[in-house]
Amino acid sequence: MSNKAKDLGIVAIGITGMFLVYWIYSIFLADYLPLSDDLKTVIGKVIFLVFGLGVFLIATKKMENIAIPKNKVSAKTLIICFLLQFTALMFTMILLFMNIALTTAFGGKDSSTDISALSPLTLILLLVINPILEEFIFRHLLAKKMLKHGERFYIFVSAYCFAIAHGVSLGVIQIGYTFILGMIYSFLMVKTGNIVLVMILHSLSNLFGGVIFQTLSNVSVGVAAVYLLLVMVLGVIGLILFLINRRNIILDGSQGLVEKHTFKDLATNKGVILYSAITFIMILLK
């Protein structure tokens, strides 16, 4: 087994243990606690941060950590990365609308149409806690463990692990959305080494992709529809700019964003297989 495969397996097992601790609480235990929903959420975050992250750090403590170099990127690169978040959101909205149409056609009711007000705790989680915690784990810690095996490899591994974990909390349709976001954030982490910048971009994604739309939906369906149209326009602009500038993407000293053999590296790695299997079991149970 190569060092790359071994390190990938260790990291995947560490992530599996980290989330399994949290999922056991949130899926199997939280509903039985005689506490408010907000308090249950706070307890869940504490469990994830203390016990879950502790499992990951113990599992990966013997792995070599590398320093992450810091560099500057152009304003154009930052703008394209920002707009590509709308591109990801645009494709996700199309899938959600298709899901709603199919569900309605077969006589079902789609729960994604249910809109409720955002609590102060939810806002803090979406805009502050989750961006900080998730980027620290999936971008910063994974970069220290995996970036030595190549920029493209790290970007894909980070995005994949980030995406399927969100399938449990957000649903299968959101996996594609969070995968694209993961690619964007990992790319910026490689290019800048600035985890704070990545956290800010993540927070902005939650703001524009969730908070604003949900708030407008509670105010007026018409206003929310106009906002969705704006998202579509920005998403198309982001996609066009990406296609025009894709040849300028230089990783590992050459053009391109993903290496073909990376798919095989993940698909055949026992740690990744375990992580994927447990995650999808949790999606079904949720």
Q: Report the chain's C-alpha Rg in angstroms.
A: 19
> Helix or strand or coil: residue 251?
strand
Distance CA 6, CA 66 (A): 16
Tokens at residue 6, please? 């071994």
User: What whole-number distance in Å separates Cα of residue 14 and Cα of residue 63?
Assistant: 11
181-228: pLDDT as tens digits: 999 999 999 999 999 999 999 999 999 988 998 899 888 889 989 999
Where b means 16+ CB within 10 Å and e means fewer, 175-199 reads: bebbbbbbbbbbbbbbbbbbbebbb
- The one-digit pLDDT tens for each residue of the chain (286 residues) are 679 999 999 999 999 999 999 999 999 999 999 999 999 999 999 999 999 999 999 999 999 999 998 999 999 999 999 999 999 999 988 887 777 777 666 666 555 545 566 889 999 999 999 999 999 999 999 999 999 999 999 999 999 999 999 999 888 888 999 999 999 999 999 999 999 999 999 999 999 988 998 899 888 889 989 999 999 999 999 999 999 999 889 999 888 888 888 999 999 999 999 999 999 999 998 7
Do the Cβ atoms of 110 and 100 come closer than 8 Å?
Answer: yes
Q: Output the DSSP codes for 12-65.
A: HHHHHHHHHHHHIIIIIIGGGSSS-HHHHHHHHHHHIIIIIHHHHHHHTTTSPP
The three-class DSSP label of residue 255 is strand
